[in-house]
Copies of this chain bind each other. A is one copy, B any other.
Amino acid sequence: MHISRSLVGALLLVSLGLACLQPAWAADDALPSWQDGAAKQAIVDFVAHVTTRGGPAFVPESERIATFDNDGTLWAEQPMYIQMAFVLDRVKALAPQHPKWRDQQPFKAVLEGDLKALAASGEKGMIDLGMATHAGMTTQEFEQIVKDWLATAKHPRFNRPYTECVYQPMVELLAYLRANGFKTYIVSGGGIEFMRPWTEQVYGIPPEQVVGSTIKTTFEMRDGTPVLMRLPEIDFIDDKAGKPVGINKFIGRRPILAFGNSDGDHQMLQWTAAGSGPRFMGLVHHTDAEREWAYDRISSIGRLDEALDEALTKGWTVVDMKQDWKIIFPPSSRH
């Protein structure tokens, strides 16, 4: 009797030990760019819990929805949003066709490299620039413009294509989740049609799993062929409180895992957290001025303040970029 109880105890310890170890082994393969630590362990534990059939936290595959912000969460957003760099380059490329821009703000500021005047043009200036560069062509034409730009443009600090300024640990996380039956989505404030041309190749996320901001389009016949023309009119802003709205509209299910890096992701994380059953809320905290950037509460781009407070209070996972990531970017393929 005594022996038997010890045996049971030993077996229990062994099996508990195995249960704890198994995800760690799996993670060693799947998340090689993550340092062993609390963040990695929280991810691995969560995935193990929701995928253990018969376990108390099991979630069927169809409900394993994971949503990721893009700018600052999957790729760099400093010194400016990459889509903003696209806008500035497009204004310069289009300027010869628009001679009036030389005297018209905010275009004048862009052409003269006058960042102060550009900033002074405010939100209206940004919208004017966005519409001038994102509308007035078909959806197919815009897709080609984005692809052409990405093929040659380079990040000013890292001197590599923007599509190689993605965070290697997050790319591994996306693949790890998919290998465990998750459907991975982008839910970004960025333009949906600025992302869709390249997200499948870079992140393994197909166009239909990209949620973002949209401008209006209209169906037209052009020389007998139907086209969708991009109109200079905002349709939907997928940011802040717009993120849960976008998730509900485009996906129609609540995520069980969400990752962001700024207050723009706060409501997405709250919406995710408010569902029943197991939940994972994660924030990428930019703490690495040497390898990338260090910024949070007072940054104009990617400000992380209220969401960080709630994360610390509620025990959401905060990834410390400097401590938790062995490398930031993937090895370059084009140098």
Contacts and interface: CB of A to CB of B under 8 A. Distances in A.
B248 A228 contact: yes
Interface residues of A, number: 34
B192 A219 contact: no
Nearest to A211: B250
A258 interface: no
Interface in A190-215: 192-193, 196, 200, 206-208, 210, 214
Nearest to A252: B207
A271 interface: yes
A81 to B, nearest CB: 21
A241 B219 contact: yes
Contacts of A65: 208
Contacts of A226: 244, 267, 270-271, 274
Q: Which of A208, A218, A241, A250: most chain B CB closer than 10 A?
A: A208
B217 A250 contact: no
Query: What is the total number of copies of this protein in its complex?
Result: 2
Contact of A62 (B200, B210, B253, B270): B200
Nearest to A185: B208
B249 A192 contact: yes
4 closest cross-chain pairs (CB), A and B: A207-B252, A219-B241, A196-B252, A208-B251
B245 A219 contact: yes
Contacts of A274: 225-226
Given A244-B219, A274-B226, A208 B267 contact: no
Contacts of A62: 200, 206
